[in-house]
Copies of this chain bind each other. A is one copy, B any other.
């Protein structure tokens, strides 16, 4: 398997991972165990990964992080609103 496909699979997994977390928080409205600093720092970092992906022209990094910033950002928004 070449690097492009490893990167695409990695990107798909680290992106999809936030779907069950976002769904769990949406369903339970419970965010007590989630760390707000984690989501604040993580979402900022993912936004910078997106910039990095654009700069080096890596599609797995661009697409994955564009979706992840929305998913992780939504968990962060629910943490702020449901607490």
Interface residues of A (CB under 8 A from B): 2-3, 6-7, 9-21, 23-25, 28, 30-35, 37-39, 41-42, 44-46, 48-49, 51-52, 55-56, 58, 60
The reply to whether A56 and B7 contact each other, CB–CB distance below 8 Å, is yes
When distances are taken between beta carbons in the complex, the residues of chain B under 8 Å from A39 are: 17
Interface of A: prevailing SS: helix
Q: What is the count of identical protomers in the complex?
A: 2
The reply to whether A21 and B38 contact each other, CB–CB distance below 8 Å, is yes
The reply to whether B33 and A28 contact each other, CB–CB distance below 8 Å, is yes
When distances are taken between beta carbons in the complex, the residues of chain B under 8 Å from A28 are: 33
The reply to whether B38 and A18 contact each other, CB–CB distance below 8 Å, is yes
A34 in contact with B6 given A14-B46, A52-B60 (CB within 8 Å): no
